[in-house]
Amino acid sequence: MTAMPSTPVYTNIRRILEQQRASLLAALHHDVRETCAETVQLGDEHDPLDVSAVTAQTDIRVSLINSRTRTLAAIDAALMRLREGRYGRCESCGEPIADARLRVVPFALRCTRCEDAKETADRAERGRGMLARRLADQRHASLSTPVNVHAEPPH
């Protein structure tokens, strides 16, 4: 048994992944610093229009932080798979991921087919979650008044 030689393609991918990881980390640090600065700014802001502008900006930054954190986790997973020799295989069906896809998304964990299926499932899941929250809000709204009416007087 001979160890699988590390192919030049994958050596290249490791370097790309490590570079992406470093620049993502730098971007994340920047985002977190900016978000903190904006939050401090919010405390000093008295104009409601400015407050909502800053809040909207912070919302965008927070969703950016979330998506960068997800990408970072995917890059870490891909680097681990490289180390373990599992890189390039779909996490769901075990089939090789197309080279063309890996060149565009070096941290892809699934083949295009499984990724599409997962995205469709995630969207459906999010849709259900949103509906459940809306229903809960409605229930909460219709309950809040009677609860106050029947509240026990303080002893």
Which residues form the interface with Zn ion (CB under 5 A)? 90, 92-93, 111, 114
Among residues 71, 91, 99, 72, the alpha carbon closest in space to that of 13 is found at 99
Identity of the residue, 79 or 115, whose beta carbon is nearer to Zn ion in the bound complex: 115
Identity of the residue, 78 or 111, whose beta carbon is nearer to Zn ion in the bound complex: 111
CB neighbour list of residue 38: distance below 8 Å, 6 or more residues apart: 54, 57, 58, 61
Give the Cα separation of 58 and 62 in Å (integer): 6
Min separation Cβ 149 and Zn ion, Å? 56
Only one residue has tokens 């290249």, namely 12
Identity of the residue, 17 or 109, whose beta carbon is nearer to Zn ion in the bound complex: 109
Min separation Cβ 79 and Zn ion, Å? 20
Count the Cβ atoms, other than its own, within 10 Å of residue 107.
21
Min separation Cβ 11 and Zn ion, Å? 24
